[in-house]
Amino acid sequence: MTAWWRDAVIYQVYVRSFADGDGDGVGDLIGIRDRLPYLAGLGVDAVWLTPFYRSPMADFGYDVADYRDVDPMFGTLADAKALIDEAHQHRLRVIVDIVPNHTSAAHPWFQEALRGEKRDRYIFRDQPNDWESIFGGPAWTQVADGQWYLHLFDPAQPDLNWDNEEVRGEFESILRFWLDLGVDGFRVDVAHGMVKPAGLPDIGKGNQARMVGREPVPFFDNDGVHEIHRAWRRVLDSYPGERIGVAEAWAPTPERLARYVRPDELHQAFNFHYLFAPWDAAELRAVIDSSLATAASVGAPTTWVLSNHDVKRHVTRYGSLARARAAALLTLALPGSAYVYQGEELGLPEVLDLPPEVCRDPQRLRDPDSGRDGCRVPLPWTRESGWADPWLPIPADWAELSVEAQDGVPGSTLELYRAALRLRRSFEGELIWHDSPRGTLVFSRGELVCAVNFTETPVDFGLEGELLLASDEPGAANSAAWLKVKCRA
């Protein structure tokens, strides 16, 4: 079995918003099963499913009450098994989310802790420190008998105590449960957060990180997390077929991030430095170079990502669909593995005008503009949307962005992605940069060249060769093109 994950394209399914099989307005596992032919036809290698476990949904499933069962909203365990098996028949691998930093407050362990039993599985103290929750407000909540418990996220997401051996054992057992069911890997939620610094030191007023992981904070990226990832790697390696672990790790630098993908740790880590780079030739080139160099230093592939369920969609971040289409060609030409967030293949923008009464993301508490509902709006399958009563309203002007409207239409974003996912396999080997006009980037890998114009004016790249694919007229403002060049000067 080859190391399939080294150059795989992995499609993120945000289960709630992907496809609704039972017509209740919330996406589910049968909905995904029905759409496996769509995913296989798109040309991705694997799907990552966001949490579908039993949960009160305080953080949309990232608050897990039972790690070994499916929430009735999403289906049953039998549906999960059927989905995994059928995906495999379509040659799609399946990665599931695992949430080890915290459980739901409804988890039986936390319920016991509230009754004063076995509190050591969580982080209870007589006095809180000054940490703030990522979602806003204090990271501590007081319980009836006066003690406080730590929650780096919502109060409904109490942090586990990873110094407790029972916690470690339980999670290895959960990994085995899903591996036995046939999953090909795990996306590890908050992989940088499980281990807290000894003594839980105060941060000091004014130093609280507003953005997760962009500046060092004492509760993230502690060296102790790596021991857990090593233990998990041993579990993954004990199964046949290259099962993988993907770190959602917000580390301050590419160097710190590379530590999560050392040979005996996880296989991939999301490249958020790439995701957050602005639409700028020089800045993107610098991030690409540092990502390639740091990943290579530990023998890992890079993992490119432009959007996910936690950030503003890149059409909106970059400011136009033209740029997003060009960014897709740039990303899919780079060496390594790439993630596609559901809907980016349709060119969906962030929905910025959701009525406040439908917004439910707990992160809104930090400040209303940071809410993540706008990137989680259900996928438009048809011009009429394909949803009976979607849990978030689908904008009327998405009719022309729907799968139905773009399917088979030359030049549509959906067809651009389909072609790119088919052709990207022809890019082989190392990336070599070539001189190009200011505000542009040109690189080759083997015989293939990717040329990107980041500027607002057309450029003549002067490249001779066969044009394979382009996001717009070759050389146009905010465009990218792939060419096959036989003999380069």
Site residues (vs ligand GLC, CB under 6 A) = 59, 62, 99, 153, 189-190, 248, 309-310
Please name which of 458, 433, 338, 363 lies closest in space to residue 152, comparing C-alpha atoms: 363
Beta-bridged to residue 373, according to DSSP, are none
- Tokens 């992995």 sit at which residue? 10
- For ligand GLC, the closer of residues 93 and 187 by Cβ is 187
159 catalytically annotated: no
The DSSP 8-state label assigned to residue 383 in this structure reads: T
Least distance in Å: CB of 99 to ligand GLC?
A: 6
Nearer to ligand GLC, 233 or 372 (CB): 372
> Which residue is at the shortest CB distance from ligand GLC?
62
Residue with Cβ nearer ligand GLC (14 or 461):
14
Query: Residue 365 Cβ, how far from ligand GLC at the closest point, in Å?
Result: 12
- What is the closest distance, in whole angstroms, from the C-beta atom of residue 154 to ligand GLC in the complex? 8
Residue 397 annotated to the active site: no
Q: From residue 369, give the alpha-carbon distance in Å to each of 207, 279, 359, 366, 372.
A: 21, 21, 11, 9, 9
198 burial via Cβ count (<10 Å: 0-12, 13-18, 19+): exposed
Name the residue nearer to ligand GLC (CB basis): 190 or 288: 190
* CA geometry: angle 378, 307, 438, nearest 5 deg: 135
- The number of residues in the chain equals 489
DSSP notation for 452-463: EE-SSS------
At closest approach, how far in Å is the CB of 329 from ligand GLC? 26
Which residues are 434's β-sheet partners? 442
Catalytic residue among 7, 28, 248, 345: 248
Closest separation in Å from C-beta 252 to ligand GLC: 16
Q: What is the dihedral of CA 212, 307, 381, 41, to 10 degrees?
A: -130
Given the DSSP bridges, would you call strands 185-188 and 244-247 parallel, antiparallel or unpaired?
A: parallel
Task: Tell me whether strands 148-150 and 140-142 are parallel, antiparallel or unpaired.
Answer: antiparallel
Please identify which of the residues 97, 159, 189, 265 carries the catalytic annotation.
Answer: 189
Minimum distance from CB of 133 to ligand GLC (Å)?
10
Closest CA to 20 of 351, 348, 382, 401: 382
* Residue 262 or 366 with smaller CB distance to ligand GLC: 366
Q: Which is nearer to ligand GLC, 42 or 212 (CB)?
A: 212
CB nearer to ligand GLC: give 220 or 318. Answer: 220
Q: Starting from the edge strand earliest in sequence, which strands make up the sheet with 244-247, in order?
A: 268-269, 244-247, 185-188, 93-98, 46-49, 9-13, 337-341, 303-304
CA atoms within 13 A on the CB side of 393: 11
Q: What are 15's two structure tokens?
A: 């289960």
Nearest-approach distance from CB 61 to ligand GLC, in angstroms = 9
- State the angle between helix axes of 165-181 and 77-89 in degrees (0 to 180), rounded to the nearest 10: 50
CA dist 69 and 29 (Å) reads 13
Write out the two tokens for 395.
């904008």
Kindly tell me which of 12 and 331 has the beta carbon lying closer to ligand GLC: 12
Residues designated as active site: 189, 248
